[in-house]
Amino acid sequence: MARPRSLLQTLRLWVFPPTIPETEPARRRSRTLRFTAVATLVIAALTLGALVAAEPFSAWRRLGSLIVVAVLCGVAFAAGRKERYELGGWILTGGLILLVTIRAWPLGGLFSSVGPFYVVLVLMGGVILGRRGSIGITLATAAAALALYAGHRAGSIATPALGVTPMGMLLSLLMAILLSFSLQVAIGNTFRFTLRRAEAELAERKAAQHDLGERVKELGLLHHVAQATQRESSSDEAMLRDIVRMMPEAWQHPDVTVARISFGATIAASPGWRETPWMQSTQFVSGDRAGSIDVAYTEERPAADEGPFLNEERALLDSVAEMVVAHLDSMRSRHELENLVAKRTAELREASATLSVSLARLQELEGLRDDLVKMIVHDMRGLLLVVMANLEFARTEVEGQPKSDIDDALGAANEVNKMANTLLDVSRLEEGKMPMTVASCDLAEVLRSAAATLGALDSSRVIEVVCTDPVTAECDRELIRRVIDNLVGNAIKHTPSGGRVRLDALRRNGQVRVTIADEGAGVPEDARTRIFEKFGSVRKRGENSMHSAGLGLAFCRLAVEAHKGRIGVEPGVPRGSVFYFEIPSGSAEATA
Amino acid sequence: MTNSGESDPKPNTVLVVDDDAKTRAVIAKMIRAVGYEPLEAANGSEAIHHYAARSNDIAAATLDLMMPETNGRATLAMLSEIAPFLPIVISSGLDPNAERLQGRIPGTPGVTYLQKPYKQEQLKAALDKVMGQLRRSR
């Protein structure tokens, strides 16, 4: 229990408040004191020196004053060095008041030049000692003025006859002292106000800078999170661990901050993570899993917007959560897509494998079919040898009808032979295994040869070859000859007796076009493609149509296509049909 | 086998090798018609056997390539070995390009290919051709 302070103690504490050493105000005041002491001494020395020069008779007096001033300034300076600025201030100002008063005593007291000195000393007191000190100095100067007045009243000091009483001078002096005091207070206030404002501004700036630093840390965290989420190679767990590692730095008090991110079964936490009463959390959902991000202070910290956390930190936490969710969603979509693609790829592979198997089977069957065709044709040929040779022998031994019958039989056997050959050729062309010898060939000449051969067999129809100049193309002469034979043979069959079959060949746009025109009944429009298919012939009754071999035109088509050409039939003008085929002429020859 | 004192008569026999009896018969008939004496063999082993017995007499041979026992190709190969100078007419129902023959193949002197069915004249021409080639080359 402290003793109640005595009046003297109170006075003492009030005049000499305890200085907190090494604080800014103490240092400032001490600096001011030292400066004032030095300045006072210098000015006093200069002035007193000038006065001695002006009034040499007062030299000793002035010197005495200077010594006193020097002592006072020295002591004040030393006190300032030790930061005892009140003591120093009082010694300096008090000592100077005393010196001025004593010097004024024999020089007219109140009527001497004490006024300016008192005013200056009040100001000096305010500057060095502050507001409280300046009250004391004001009172001291007032007391000194009163002392001089008392001297006048006592007759110690001579009163000049100037028409002003000592009381009048005293009052004027007191007024000056008071004005000085109030002016000093006003200056002090202005100074304090400016100082406080500057300090406030500085504090504001420091706070702003601190805030800026905090925002930079937050941005740093967001940037880091963005980078972590863009790293595609790392797993979800690795990414969360990375983020959790960087999070504490972005909070106000990183040294006590710990963080944790949990997502489904995955948990990533700072070392030393534990739940505390000072926590900040946010929840999120990605796909069918939930997660949360938690930040905790392991020690209590000053309260802010949300517990010890700032609004900005809440915003930061939510931003981090948003970025994490966006990344997790995107990865999930990507995985789903990848899975889908893998599934489809597997399905496609399976389908492809099935197709490969089917293809292999198909090729196998085709091979078997080709072998079958070959075998059938081989056997047929063997049997035909027996049939035809024996018929030939029999033919030589008979005459008349039997001979004619045998001729018919031989004719039919020949047809069978041709059918067998055509069947084999069609099979080989379809397989792509028809051997072809390609050479330059004059188609006009082939037409003339076919016309001659086939025309010789049937004189009732005229076979006319229109083209006269050579028409050359690169082709297998044998195959093309057989195509022409087939088409000319068909034309003859379909042309009535006495009718005309016209053959022509011409070059056109790098192709050679061969046409065989007959005067038959024509081919109906819907059959014009079908007839070139295997067994797709047009069957007609009547004298001028025979059953055409189902394979002949198919063979022609395949043989022409093997030359990369095309075949077709158009209506003849005015009647009949024009069968044509076109094949590339092959070589870049000049006009034939 | 001849054991007369006259100069070696020209061999006049043509060996007919075919697995079908009717085919053999008709070929034999054709051979007789063109002035030769047919000697039938139903398979490759018979053919080799006949040749071994009457090699001096055999002027030429017709050979079917598709036979069940000792296939024609093997027979051709064997004949090529034991009778390198025997003219041969290979007859078959298959196309010439489809064969993969060993030994003397069509195109070499004394061997030619004749596709069935053929006429008597064609057979004669073939026999004349192969026999002529080997006579000249001796």
Q: Using alpha carbons, select from B22, B65, B66 the residue that is nearest to residue A384.
A: B22
Rounded Cα gap, residues A483 and A563, in angstroms: 12
- A392 — contact with chain B (CB < 8 Å)? yes
Which residue does chain A place closest to B30, by CA atoms?
A389
Residue of B62, B64, B95, B122 for testing the chain A interface, max A β-carbons within 10 Å: B95
Which amino acid type is present at position B91? S
- B22 — contact with chain A (CB < 8 Å)? yes
Kindly list the residues from chain B whose CB atom is less than 8 angstroms away from the CB atom of residue A414.
Answer: none
The region of weakest confidence among A350-359, B43-52, B129-138 is B129-138
A57 backbone φψ class: left, alpha, beta (φ>0; ψ -120 to 50): alpha
Instruction: Characterize the bridge pairing of strands A289-297 and A438-442.
Output: unpaired
Q: Do A388 and B98 touch (CB under 8 A)?
A: no
pLDDT for position A179? 93
Q: Do B27 and A389 touch (CB under 8 A)?
A: yes
Q: Do B93 and A390 touch (CB under 8 A)?
A: no
- A414 — contact with chain B (CB < 8 Å)? no
Rounded Cα gap, residues A592 and B23, in angstroms: 51
Which residue does chain B place closest to A378, by CA atoms?
B93
Kindly list the residues from chain B whose CB atom is less than 8 angstroms away from the CB atom of residue A378.
Answer: 66, 92-94
Q: Do A381 and B20 touch (CB under 8 A)?
A: no
pLDDT for position A592? 41
**Residue B137 distance to chain A (closest CA, Å):** 31
- A431 — contact with chain B (CB < 8 Å)? no
pLDDT for position A459? 80
Beta-bridge partners for A331: none
Query: Strand order in B111-115's β-sheet?
Result: B37-41, B13-17, B58-64, B88-92, B111-115
pLDDT for position A538? 54
**Residue B17 distance to chain A (closest CA, Å):** 13
pLDDT for position B35? 92
Rounded Cα gap, residues A388 and A158, in angstroms: 186
* Site of tokens 């290919």: B113
Q: Do B117 and A435 touch (CB under 8 A)?
A: no
Kindly list the residues from chain B whose CB atom is less than 8 angstroms away from the CB atom of residue A387.
Answer: 117
Residue A537: how many CA atoms within 13 Å on its side-chain side? 16
**Residue B50 distance to chain A (closest CA, Å):** 24
Rounded Cα gap, residues A36 and A136, in angstroms: 18
pLDDT for position A590? 42
**pLDDT < 50 stretches in chain A:** 1, 541-547, 588-592
Judged by DSSP in three states, A579 sits in strand
* DSSP assignment letter at A391: H
Pair A576, A494: CB distance under 8 Å: yes
Q: Do A384 and B92 touch (CB under 8 A)?
A: no
Rounded Cα gap, residues A98 and B19, in angstroms: 165
Enumerate the H helices of A82-165 as residue ranges.
Answer: 85-104, 114-154
Q: Do A389 and B119 touch (CB under 8 A)?
A: yes
Kindly list the residues from chain B whose CB atom is less than 8 angstroms away from the CB atom of residue A392.
Answer: 119-120
pLDDT for position A10? 79
Kindly list the residues from chain A whose CB atom is less than 8 angstroms away from the CB atom of residue B21.
Answer: none
- B115 — contact with chain A (CB < 8 Å)? yes
Kindly list the residues from chain A whose CB atom is less than 8 angstroms away from the CB atom of residue B117.
Answer: 381-382, 384-385, 387-389, 413, 417
Rounded Cα gap, residues A220 and A223, in angstroms: 5
Pair A76, A89: CB distance under 8 Å: yes
**Residue A528 distance to chain B (closest CA, Å):** 33
Q: Do B119 and A385 touch (CB under 8 A)?
A: no
Hey, CA dihedral for A320, A323, A329, A334, is it positive or negative? negative
Kindly list the residues from chain B whose CB atom is less than 8 angstroms away from the CB atom of residue A370.
Answer: none
Pair A428, A367: CB distance under 8 Å: no
Please tell me the pTM assigned to this model.
Answer: 0.50
For A75, counting Cβ atoms within 10 Å of its Cβ (0-12 exposed, 13-18 middle, 19+ buried), the class is middle
pLDDT for position B70? 59
Residue-wise pLDDT for B67-77, tens only, equals 666 577 788 88
pLDDT for position A186? 87
**Residue B102 distance to chain A (closest CA, Å):** 21
pLDDT for position A232? 73
Interface pTM (ipTM) of the complex?
0.86
- B116 — contact with chain A (CB < 8 Å)? yes
B130: CB partners within 8 A, 6+ apart: B60, B87, B88, B89, B110, B111, B112
Which residue does chain B place closest to A386, by CA atoms?
B23
**Residue B132 distance to chain A (closest CA, Å):** 25
pLDDT for position A589? 47
**Residue A465 distance to chain B (closest CA, Å):** 32
Percent of chain B with pLDDT over 90: 35
Cis omega (within 30 of 0) for bond into A574? yes
Residue of B16, B18, B22 for testing the chain A interface, max A β-carbons within 10 Å: B22
Q: Do B27 and A377 touch (CB under 8 A)?
A: no
Higher pLDDT, B43 or B32: B32
Which residue does chain A place closest to B22, by CA atoms?
A386
Q: Do A393 and B29 touch (CB under 8 A)?
A: yes
